[in-house]
Amino acid sequence: MKILVAITGSSYPKIGLQLLNSIPKEHEIYAIISENAKNVLKFEENSEICEIKGVKFLDNSNLAAPVSSGSFGVDCTIVAPCSINSLAKIAAGIADNLILRAAAVALKERKQLILGVREMPFSTISLEQMAKLSSQGVIIAPPILGTYAGSNLEEIENFIVGKWLDLMKIENSLYKRWK
C-alpha cells in the first residue's frame, strides 16, 4: 500500500513522526513536513527532522512531486497533526503546497483521507469544515486520548497512533484494546 503522511504546523508534530516510525516498512511510505511543523518541532521538542528508514521525504513546495498526481496511486493520505489552517484550506479546495495538493488529490480520487485535526476548542467554522469534509468521506480523527489504553504519555501516544493505524487497516498492537 502507498501511504502518505503529512505533518502540518499545529502543536504536537512529534505524534506525526511517531506515526511514520510505526507504519510497517513493507508499505511504500512518503512524508511531507511543512516548514511550520519543523518550526514547532524545534520549539516544542528542541529537535529537528531526521531521516526515517524506509520513508521517502518530499519537499512541501514541490508541486511536481509524484504524490501531486492521482495517477501516482497513493492509497491513504493522513495529515497528522492537521492544523486548523490546513483544515480550512482543504475544505475550501486550496492546493497551494504539496500537502494541500495531495489532500485535494485524495478527495478527487475518492481515496482515503484522514485528518488528525489538532486544536481545542474547535470553532464553529472548523466544525462546519470538518462536517463538510466528513460528508465527502474524509475521516476526521483528532488525537484524542483514551485512558483505558494507559495513563503515561507514551501509552497515550501509542493509543493515538494505533487508532490511526487501525483506520488505515494496518494491524498493530500499540495499545491495549477495550475489553
Query: For residue 150, what pLDDT is reported?
Result: 83
pLDDT for position 169: 97
pLDDT at 107: 98
**Which runs of consecutive H residues, i.e. helices, occur in the chain?**
14-22, 35-45, 84-92, 98-108, 124-135, 153-167
Interacting residues of 120 by C-beta distance below 8 A, sequence separation 6+ = none
- Rounded to two decimals, the pTM is 0.95
| pLDDT at residue 177, as a whole number | 87
The answer to whether the beta carbons of residues 57 and 93 sit under 8 Å apart is: no
**What CATH number should be reported for the domain whose range is 2-147?**
3.40.50.1950
**How long, in residues, is the chain?**
179
pLDDT of residue 49: 80
DSSP letters, 4-31, are EEEE-SSS-THHHHHHHHHS-TTSEEEE
> What per-residue confidence (pLDDT) applies to 39?
94
Domain range summary for the chain, segments of one domain joined by +: 2-147
Q: What is the mean pLDDT of each run of 10 residues along the chain (179 residues)?
A: 96 94 97 96 86 95 98 98 98 98 98 96 97 98 87 92 97 90
**Residue-level pLDDT at 136:** 98
